[in-house]
């Protein structure tokens, strides 16, 4: 057997056609693996959403007819209308076929297509949860950067203590406290809903919606911003001992410039996944917050659907919520190599 030639043994030089083909193959394998993982996760969510809500206690037909005189024949007719008289395997096949056609079925509770309910409620949810997510991310990243850069200072200890305290507070409890203190007691803010009846005009309506958003957004931000702050603080502390920061200071750069140009961009990388995942959760909103403040979004719709249980509604929302997180996680995997060259290697 002959020894390999030096041309075969040597790695391909960067910029050569051989290196380009290898890079393209690695990229395709990376994309293919991420897409396959996302597809498998979505299939698992579809299967889980069907069987998970079937084990919930309660009969949808009896829950919807509670307190009314209904004959057994009428109950049986309702079960036929809902498809609950079919064997479980047949119900599962019908459910999968409907999902492939983006047909989520008819809501038991509202007697309208679930797709119409989602289309009606998704706007308020994105408005509320999106606003809260953006504000929480901005506050958390700024406070986390300041706390890490002044590690051990009074500001660091106070910010960290407040953030951890609020992070451990249940969101529904904090929402109820805000209602008692700032709404019921003083009347400064509305206690529920998205708009006030009788308010008309674009400017008046916008201000009214913003007024209704103050308490639920405050509740969300107070509970969520600590995630961004603690991760940013930890990431920046890891970067502060790096050689490139010492080199930057040795060149005479001011600390503020070193922080802004060198430390923060690298420390932001671990927060990318968290930001994308929370963007995926925007679709789900904050179920407890929407329920406490009677916000007409997908979160409160999901909660009311669980009470029946309204199987088509909760199944569709479960797939939508999980699918949004899977999609955002996939986008994070695709964006991360663009931000960090080490991932591409």
Tens of pLDDT, residues 37-52: 889 998 999 888 888 8
Q: What is the pLDDT of residues 322-345, one digit of tens each?
A: 888 888 888 888 877 776 666 655
Give the number of other Cβ atoms within 10 Å of residue 14's Cβ: 8
Residue whose C-alpha is closest to residue 323's, from 77, 39, 110: 39
Indicate the CATH number for domain 38-57+104-344.
1.10.3720.10
The whole-number pLDDT of residue 217 equals 93
Instruction: Show the low-confidence residues of the chain (pLDDT under 50).
Output: 1-2, 4-10
Round to whole Å and give the CA distance between 290 and 299: 6
Round to whole Å and give the CA distance between 135 and 210: 14
The whole-number pLDDT of residue 342 equals 60
Mean pLDDT of the chain: 82
Is the preceding peptide bond at 309 cis, omega within 30 degrees of 0? yes
The whole-number pLDDT of residue 6 equals 46
DSSP string, 134-191: HHHHHHHHHHHHHHHHTTTSHHHHHHHHHHHHHHTS-HHHHHHHHIIIIIITT-SS-S
Round to whole Å and give the CA distance between 41 and 280: 15
Round to whole Å and give the CA distance between 337 and 104: 36
Give the number of other Cβ atoms within 10 Å of residue 40's Cβ: 11
Do 107 and 117 contact (CB within 8 A), yes or no? yes
The whole-number pLDDT of residue 7 equals 45
The whole-number pLDDT of residue 305 equals 87
The whole-number pLDDT of residue 1 equals 45
Report if pTM > 0.85: no
User: How many contiguous H segments (helices) and E segments (strands) does the chain have?
Assistant: 17, 0
The whole-number pLDDT of residue 120 equals 92
Round to whole Å and give the CA distance between 121 and 212: 16
């Amino acid at each position: 057997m002959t020894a390999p030639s030096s041309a075969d043994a040597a790695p391909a030089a960067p910029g050569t056609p051989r290196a380009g083909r290898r890079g393209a193959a690695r990229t395709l394998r990376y994309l293919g693996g991420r897409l396959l993982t996302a597809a498998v996760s979505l299939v698992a969510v579809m299967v889980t959403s069907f069987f998970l809500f079937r084990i919930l206690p309660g009969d949808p037909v009896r829950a919807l007819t509670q307190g009314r005189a209904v004959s057994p024949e009428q109950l049986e007719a309702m079960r036929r209308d809902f498809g609950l008289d079919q064997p479980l395997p047949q119900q599962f096949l019908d459910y999968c076929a409907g999902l492939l056609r983006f047909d989520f079925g008819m809501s038991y509770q509202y007697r309208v297509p679930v797709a119409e309910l989602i289309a009606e409620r998704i706007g308020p949810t994105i408005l509320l949860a999106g606003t809260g997510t953006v504000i929480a991310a901005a506050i958390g990243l700024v406070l986390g950067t300041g706390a890490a850069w002044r590690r051990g200072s009074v500001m660091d200890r106070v910010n960290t203590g407040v953030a951890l305290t609020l992070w451990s507070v249940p969101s529904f409890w904090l929402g109820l406290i805000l209602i008692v203190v700032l709404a019921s007691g003083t009347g400064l803010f509305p206690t529920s809903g998205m708009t006030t009846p009788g308010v008309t005009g674009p400017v008046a309506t916008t201000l009214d919606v913003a007024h209704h958003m103050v308490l639920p957004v405050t509740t969300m931000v107070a509970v969520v911003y600590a995630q961004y702050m603690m991760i940013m603080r930890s990431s920046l502390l890891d970067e502060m001992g790096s050689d490139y920061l010492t080199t930057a200071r040795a060149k005479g750069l001011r600390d503020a410039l070193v922080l802004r140009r060198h430390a923060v961009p690298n420390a932001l990388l671990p927060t990318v996944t968290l930001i994308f995942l929370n963007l995926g959760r925007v679709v789900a909103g904050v179920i407890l917050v929407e329920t406490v403040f009677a916000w007409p979004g997908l979160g409160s719709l999901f909660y009311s659907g669980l009470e029946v249980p309204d199987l088509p509604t909760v199944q569709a929302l479960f797939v939508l919520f999980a699918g949004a997180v899977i999609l955002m996680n996939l986008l994070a995997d695709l964006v991360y190599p663009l931000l960090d060259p080490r991932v591409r290697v």
